[in-house]
Structure 1
């Protein structure tokens, strides 16, 4: 089969012919129909953690072509079903498979069935970023989720996580929630999940966000419904948020960027009992020890795969609780995507696997948000904002 394979020495990836995988006893074989890019995909090709020869890429959607020999009879998957999920690819030292290939094997319970109303390209852009947002909102900050999972197990493994509920915010008439990077893919899902939690809890939520003014109209509309927005480029945006909240501060905050001074500045707008979650670790340069009055809650999306993760100079332990949460979340996605949860807009990119590095990776860059730039004239090479880059295979 064709696959996009890491060339660590030259900090790139190339399409190669490699053996087609066979599913393990508890896995399914998926014929990949579409793949979606995330910023981590080009990052760990340009700055490789892995050795050459590994298949790159995370997000995929495709067709079930084979079932493993020991998949429980209670599962609802069958050959021909459309499914979506993600793999770790080259985003860690651990030797794991990637998704940017014509076929892949994955545990049967770490995919979700794509509803008939959702296109295969739309589905390809959901799995990793939606789970990232769900982990931030429900698994780590502890807002009420629209599905059941073992919260006691989460608290048993991670006492610092999922310790807060909207009920813990006292007699506040309104819960203030702030999202930094509101127009990122993770931010677009986070806003929807915040609204779902508010309705489930019967609490009114005021949603604040930081994003480019070009996206404000979109963010104010459904299904996001932001109440107040500030431009992240304004140096005084924390003061603007404090004024807009009438001094109450934010009960919750989610930093979808976690770069530069963003973690520190987001922390500065929290209420006295406020909590925040971030997507980049201290080891990754998001903040320094002792810099903040309350340490933000961090965790890697890879925890959902249920394996130990080694990257950025530290180890994230295997978490059965995180994997169990991901399984329940994906079961919910099978019916929620397209109805309760709107997929992020996509940009269909031409050329298949052969153009991922030259076009898609160039658009996303391999560094910080402000470093993304291209000098290409093609329409599909316009700057990326509030959308996912998707390739058909």
Structure 2
């Protein structure tokens, strides 16, 4: 593969104007154990817009998280295992970076080229498009961390050390079933159940417009309840054995009253995972019973780096880094596609349109109001889809 030019286009943070703009910047150089990747597609997450409009760090940082592309080159390292050094120019890979989502300076993905540790990307099968692959890494890992690290289910790549002839039966709730994390969580839950000889009764909440999607494979919900129903927690409990409640729950919204409502569906001793910390103040802790401890951790720690927000510091965690490596290694299987990608909305225009179009749709407050006045077909309200931009035509 020919060497790239010395400069590239990238979406860079502008803290003075509380936004990000496309600028020309030098192409990064891979360090030991890293890959230089030509980015073909990027997928948007709400956190990308949030920390562009409400910046935490300094200007000039590349924003954005999810990406898919092709390997250009690598920088060798004696510490990189053979399975991780096997990438060659032209290999199709996907992963995510932290972008501008911290005070400490971390690289982002919304650029023509990026560098990423070789052990934190996964091989994209030929049957999957770059656009589809770009939707999986961050939200898929978020779901996997919640289910397997915090709620204690068996990961589909784990070795089973105990006999599994004795089948288990559990009731599980995913609140926000049609969110990106929720769609991957349902798939991972079924794969875990099959791997560990477990019968799972999967219950979810969503908009009625998404019921058919969620009842079909690979999500295969047994029951889906409208989150708009005032008594939805009671409906969930009535669907469980003896109305005792669910064994595990994942709150993919974790905002305002949702954590308290989801906690009310748990059986005695049930476990709840959330996606926002209590310290962030996003949800009302007063509504959660004292005996329930909503389990939280930041997906960014899966990158093995120290993360600092305004008043919260999360130290680097080697166990979480290894979990990410295991997850991406499992995704890289040659047996075929492990996870079905989120439904994709292909957005026109490339990097130049990310802030003015994409961030308007997934942003908050004034951004949402601006999006509501737009008439273009691709600016319709988003639900059950992932916004994706192609950088290579």
Normalising by structure 1, we get a TM-score of: 0.91
The equivalent residue for 1:238 is: 233
> Which digits, 9 at most, give the CA deviation of each residue in 1:261-312, with x for residues without a partner?
0011111110001001010001122243794321111001001100111115
Distance 1:342 1:336 in 2: 15
Distance 1:280 1:315 in 2: 14
> Which digits, 9 at most, give the CA deviation of each residue in 1:137-177, with x for residues without a partner?
112111111113899xxxxxxxxxxxxx9x9xxx9963100
| Secondary structure in structure 1 of the residue aligned to 2:279 | coil
In the alignment, structure 1 residue 217 sits paired with structure 2 residue 212: yes
Match of 1:24 among 25, 31, 46: 31
The equivalent residue for 1:273 is: 269
Conserved 8 A contact 1:284-1:312: no
The equivalent residue for 1:386 is: 384
Conserved 8 A contact 2:359-2:367: no
Distance 2:137 2:159 in 1: 18
The equivalent residue for 1:179 is: 174
> Which digits, 9 at most, give the CA deviation of each residue in 1:157-201, with x for residues without a partner?
xxxxxxxx9x9xxx9963100000000010000001111111112
In the alignment, structure 1 residue 143 sits paired with structure 2 residue 153: yes
Q: Map 1:256-267 to 2 at 5 A.
A: 256-267=252-263
Conserved 8 A contact 1:365-1:371: no
Distance 2:262 2:83 in 1: 45
The equivalent residue for 1:104 is: 114
Structure 1: segments with no counterpart, 5+ residues: 152-164
In the alignment, structure 1 residue 282 sits paired with structure 2 residue 278: yes
Conserved 8 A contact 1:55-1:99: yes
Q: Map 1:222-371 to 2 at 5 A.
A: 222-245=217-240, 246-285=242-281, 286-288=283-285, 291-292=288-289, 293-335=291-333, 339-366=337-364
Number of residues of Structure 1 aligned to a counterpart in Structure 2: 376
- How far did residue 38 of structure 1 move? 0.4
Match of 1:93 among 97, 100, 103: 103
In the alignment, structure 1 residue 15 sits paired with structure 2 residue 22: yes
Conserved 8 A contact 1:364-1:372: no
| Secondary structure in structure 2 of the residue aligned to 1:18 | strand
Q: Say if 1:368 and 1:14 are closer, same or farther in 2 by CA, change over 3 A.
A: closer
278-287 or 319-328, which moves further after superposition?
278-287
Q: Say if 1:381 and 1:63 are closer, same or farther in 2 by CA, change over 3 A.
A: same
Match of 2:42 among 31, 35, 53: 35
Q: Map 1:53-202 to 2 at 5 A.
A: 53-70=60-77, 71-75=80-84, 76-148=86-158, 174-202=169-197
- How far did residue 225 of structure 1 move? 0.7
Conserved 8 A contact 1:150-1:325: no
Conserved 8 A contact 1:131-1:329: yes
Normalising by structure 2, we get a TM-score of: 0.91
- How far did residue 234 of structure 1 move? 1.5
The equivalent residue for 2:55 is: 48
Conserved 8 A contact 1:283-1:313: no
Conserved 8 A contact 1:118-1:337: no
| Secondary structure in structure 2 of the residue aligned to 1:88 | coil
Conserved 8 A contact 1:121-1:392: yes
- How far did residue 73 of structure 1 move? 4.0
Q: Say if 1:372 and 1:326 are closer, same or farther in 2 by CA, change over 3 A.
A: farther
Q: Say if 1:149 and 1:199 are closer, same or farther in 2 by CA, change over 3 A.
A: closer
- How far did residue 62 of structure 1 move? 0.6
Distance 1:371 1:284 in 2: 24
Conserved 8 A contact 1:347-1:387: yes
19-28 or 70-79, which moves further after superposition?
70-79
Conserved 8 A contact 1:180-1:209: yes
330-339 or 314-323, which moves further after superposition?
330-339
**What do you get for the CA RMSD once the two structures are aligned?**
2.4
| Secondary structure in structure 2 of the residue aligned to 1:283 | helix
Distance 1:384 1:338 in 2: 29
Q: Say if 1:122 and 1:290 are closer, same or farther in 2 by CA, change over 3 A.
A: closer
